[in-house]
């Protein structure tokens, strides 16, 4: 079923977080403020992401399911479920199962039972080292071997949805390396662009991990980096267009870490200085040296939105947001 994003009533979980708040921003730009935001604000500063945005209500995540099941929040046309622990280094597997897997199942069941469209965040972390490929064909996802528990928690839900026969009723978004405004609260999980900006400010240089693979020189490890503005445009295209199943959300281009951080120096008008440091032992065996989204299924939906070239995206992020302290919504007064 297609949805009119200018008038649909939308529930955004993780709506104060990085991608969640960017989705609220994108909906606001469509003229939609008919949005309920849910998150766990805790003691972090991510509440600041909500300040420039327009929405009708906020609900703490612990209260959300009981309120939905009681009908206290009314009806929704669409759920954008971005709420999850996104830390790739989280060691508490039981927490990840409850927060990322069981909660997503419960919310999905509620959405299907209530006739609400359901779009959720999966992850490119499900692909592990990439040796089994990075295409988003749901019929072959059991061959994937995630390298960390975060990726496995996402893989478990994808497998459950396929086993239950509901992947043709819901939409899963396999986000690759998303970066951009509103990620400051993510700590060590924030992008290298944000980290590099802080390092250049403080020390005039950027530190990158050395390569431990003979196939990649230092700084030449590759990722599919995608600007958050492009990522949410893809998400809303899929969610509103009635497209179901799993979709990679990436640029379809692999760039190196050097290509990512060099525009940071340019945007800050600072001389380039890059230092290579040892990678922590605990992540060396879980490190992805090359990621590249196969976007052929996305292209098959007719998605025509251009991807922002990496250097332009980095310069927009640094110049318009990091150097000014603005968040998404500040630039439009939304």
Active-site residues, by number, are: 150, 186
Token output for 149: 């528990």
Contacts of 66 (CB under 8 A, 6+ apart): none
Do residues 157 and 143 touch, judged by C-beta distance below 8 A?
Answer: no
Token output for 188: 């060590």
- Tokens 């990678």 belong to 279
Rounded Cα distance, 173 and 150, in Å: 15
**Number of residues written out for the chain:** 334
Rounded Cα distance, 226 and 291, in Å: 12
Token output for 324: 């000014």
Strand pairing class (225-227; 222-223): unpaired
Q: 104 vs 85, 110, 174, 222, 229, CA distance in Å?
A: 12, 10, 15, 31, 24
Please report the beta strands in the chain, taking only residues with DSSP state E, as ranges in sequence order: 10-13, 35-39, 57-60, 78-81, 117-123, 171-175, 177-179, 206-209, 222-223, 225-227, 245-249, 255-256, 274-277
Token output for 99: 């927060």
Strand pairing class (274-277; 225-227): unpaired
Do residues 21 and 182 touch, judged by C-beta distance below 8 A?
Answer: yes
- Tokens 């064909």 belong to 137
Do residues 176 and 288 touch, judged by C-beta distance below 8 A?
Answer: no
């Amino acid at each position: 079923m297609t949805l009119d994003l200018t008038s649909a009533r939308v529930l955004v979980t993780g709506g104060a977080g990085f991608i969640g708040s960017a989705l609220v921003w994108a909906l606001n730009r469509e003229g939609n403020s008919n949005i309920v935001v849910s998150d766990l604000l805790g003691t972090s500063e991510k509440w600041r992401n909500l300040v420039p945005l327009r929405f009708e209500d906020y609900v703490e995540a612990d209260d959300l399911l009981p309120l939905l099941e009681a009908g206290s929040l009314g009806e929704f046309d669409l759920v954008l479920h971005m709420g999850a622990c996104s830390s790739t280094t989280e060691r508490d597997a039981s927490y990840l199962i409850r927060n990322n897997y069981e909660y997503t199942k419960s919310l999905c069941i509620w959405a299907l039972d209530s006739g609400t469209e359901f779009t959720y965040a999966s992850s490119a972390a499900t692909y592990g080292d990439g040796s089994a490929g990075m295409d988003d064909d749901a019929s072959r996802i059991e061959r994937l071997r995630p390298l960390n528990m975060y990726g496995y928690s996402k893989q478990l839900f994808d497998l459950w949805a396929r086993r239950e026969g509901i992947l043709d009723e819901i939409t899963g978004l396999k986000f690759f390396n998303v970066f951009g405004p509103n990620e400051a609260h993510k700590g060590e999980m924030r992008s290298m662009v944000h980290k590099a900006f802080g390092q250049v400010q403080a020390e005039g240089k950027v530190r990158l991990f050395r390569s431990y693979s003979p196939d990649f020189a230092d700084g030449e490890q590759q990722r599919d980096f995608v600007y958050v503005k492009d990522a949410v445009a893809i998400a809303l295209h899929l969610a509103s267009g009635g497209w179901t199943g799993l979709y990679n959300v990436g640029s379809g281009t692999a760039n190196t870490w050097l290509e990512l951080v060099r525009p940071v120096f340019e945007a800050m008008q600072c001389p380039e200085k890059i230092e290579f440091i040892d990678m922590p032992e605990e992540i060396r065996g879980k490190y992805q040296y090359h990621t590249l989204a196969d976007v052929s299924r996305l292209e098959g939906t007719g998605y025509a939105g251009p991807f922002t070239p990496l250097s332009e995206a980095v310069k927009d992020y640094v110049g318009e947001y990091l150097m000014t302290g603005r968040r998404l919504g500040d630039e439009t007064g939304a």
